[in-house]
Structure 1
Amino acid sequence: MNHEFFEYEKDKPYIFIPVHSSTGSKVNERLFSHWHEELEIAYCKKGNARHYINGEIIDEKPGHVIVTNSEFMHSIMPGIKDDSAIEIVTYVLIIRPSFLKACFPSYDEIYFSNKETIASAAISEIFENLFELENAENSKLSFLHAESLILELLYQLSRKGVVRRNEVDNINVQKDIERMKGVISFIKDHFREKIPQSLVAEKFYFSISYFSRYFKKMMGVSYSEFLLNYRLYKAESELVTTSKSIMDIAVNNGFADDRRFIISFKKKFGCTPLQYRKHDRSINGNF
């Protein structure tokens, strides 16, 4: 998935997604770079999260909110402290563009800014209430309650700073970002093939040295690490949803052989693919 599209429940102007991850746990697709038309608001409930938004690095602590504007390329990673993994629990709120445009007639001309730390008891309470509503029985009244909470959240965010789009747009930076979106789409379409960094850099008209630096700045990881993590994510999905052999899964997801796949998988998940499959099926039942 590259440019992300969402399906909404009828008349519901938002999607609420709890994201639970750590540096040593199951790979979560929302942690990979993606972009979409919707406004995305992430509230950190637990742990330290690091956001990469159009190449900008923003560290988020519990109680803080990070806003990702429409079409911004972004990803979330667990923070690191003392070389150990930190578990993160983040509530992600996706807001429908039509709802936003009804609230802000000039929505297409503005950005929400992350320059100031956004954290308050009022915002924390809004997200906790939204979480409770998501886990309660749906009704028209609960939808109305949720919409009122989102309106209050937008009001709180607007007080922290809204800037005009033409004040922050940089044409050259935007061109590089659009090229990087093409790179991510290419990787996700061709991850099963041999796609060395030099090939991708040349295809998108980057010098190899600039591409290497720019990719890590934008994604937070090197090209090779991003490609490996994406292959592991896709392989993990096949591991728990199919009965394919370890060899078939390895080859189908870009690994040269099952030995290299097993080594990489164990380093990421702390167990072999076969052990992971057995553990998953002992919890969720046989495929």
Structure 2
Amino acid sequence: MNYKYEIVNYDKNVPAKILYCDLSSDTHKTELHWHREPEIVYVLEGLGECSHNGEMKDLPAGECMIFNSEDVHLVRPKMGYRANMIIIQLSFEYMRMFCKTIDSVIFDLHERPEHKDQICEILRQIANIDIDHDEYGVLKQISGVNLLYYTLLKYCTSLKRSANSFIIPKRDFSYAKTAIAYINENFKQEIPLNEISSVVNLSPSYFSKYFKSVTQVSFSEYLANLRLENALQDMLTKNSTVTAAAVENGFANVKSFITQCKKVYGYTPAQYKKHLLNR
């Protein structure tokens, strides 16, 4: 499970980054991440799920979810399902031209269900624009994105933070971000509990409880999932053997790699690779 900060780059023509994803839970994403820019997700078909600051939620077709700046999140198909989604990452710099205090704005769709329906319809319309076969489709895309910005800024801002005020988040992710950044750099080596807890200056027992409370998974499971994801990727992209993938990605032995793979996917690593290649 990789938990990282991301930098978002934008298309020069469209004032947002638009991603179209048609995913299967066969490639069960475990990567938690955060970035400065707000992100909004809409499920077109299938069933997705998201982790939002440590809380899991199902995202059925027709449902959208917004993640504010620095929110730790993950969006993926629910296990056993596919999910066709559109993801739009908003631009602070663009919004600042119209809202000078954008850095202190929090978007909230839950308290405004009627406007959330509007947002979902705008996202559906953007997703249906065929820019590959319509030479002017990008103009419709720009129009839709601007309507999205307008609706969010006009109706969906729930809190503005001044320079003198602050919000206490539901969960404090500061220690987790530091810890997982360290894990991400060092997962190929042994990382004892004493070592990772010292990175964030917490006792091992407190760190264990804290880590699970904010990520919904234990430190050991989190580390095993990160190693699993990278080991399987090596088998698929580098044609690594099971043994090489295990050793090069921090597993103590091949058996622990096989056990973790069967636990997550119900297959051995070799079976999992064959399953994906035969789809």
Counterpart for residue 65 of structure 2: 66
SS at structure 2 position matched to 1:243: coil
Please point out which of 221, 224, 244 is paired with 2:220.
Answer: 224
Q: Does 1:36 align with 2:35?
A: yes
Structure-2 separation of matches of 1:132 and 1:10: 21
Which region of structure 1 is more displaced relative to structure 2, 156-165 or 102-111?
Answer: 156-165
Q: 1:151 to 1:162 in 2, by over 3 A?
A: farther
* Preserved contact between residue 265 and residue 272 of structure 1 (Cα < 8 Å): yes
Counterpart for residue 130 of structure 1: 126
Cα shift readout 1:202-235 (whole Å, capped 9, x = no counterpart):
2201233332232223222222222121111111
Structure-1 separation of matches of 2:189 and 2:133: 46
Q: 1:124 to 1:52 in 2, by over 3 A?
A: closer
Structure-2 separation of matches of 1:89 and 1:225: 28
Structure-2 separation of matches of 1:278 and 1:165: 51
Pairs within 5 Å for 1:106-185:
106-116=101-111, 118=113, 120-133=116-129, 136-137=132-133, 139=135, 141-158=136-153, 159-166=155-162, 169-170=166-167, 176-185=172-181
Pairs within 5 Å for 1:179-194:
179-194=175-190
Determine what percentage of the aligned residue pairs are the same residue. Answer: 28
* Preserved contact between residue 95 and residue 149 of structure 2 (Cα < 8 Å): no
Which region of structure 1 is more displaced relative to structure 2, 38-47 or 119-128?
Answer: 119-128
SS at structure 2 position matched to 1:133: coil
Cα shift readout 1:144-165 (whole Å, capped 9, x = no counterpart):
2222212222333341343112
SS at structure 1 position matched to 2:33: coil
* 2:145 counterpart letter in structure 1: I
Structure-1 separation of matches of 2:176 and 2:263: 28
- Superposition RMSD on alpha carbons, in Å? 3.1
* Preserved contact between residue 75 and residue 219 of structure 1 (Cα < 8 Å): no
Structure-1 separation of matches of 2:171 and 2:215: 16
SS at structure 1 position matched to 2:5: coil
Q: Does 1:5 align with 2:7?
A: yes
SS at structure 2 position matched to 1:201: helix
* 2:6 counterpart letter in structure 1: E
SS at structure 1 position matched to 2:250: coil
Structure-2 separation of matches of 1:95 and 1:10: 13
TM-score, length-normalised on structure 2? 0.82
Q: 1:57 to 1:276 in 2, by over 3 A?
A: closer
* Preserved contact between residue 118 and residue 160 of structure 1 (Cα < 8 Å): no
Give aligned pairs, total: 273
* 2:26 counterpart letter in structure 1: S
Q: 1:245 to 1:232 in 2, by over 3 A?
A: same
5+ residue gaps in structure 2?
none
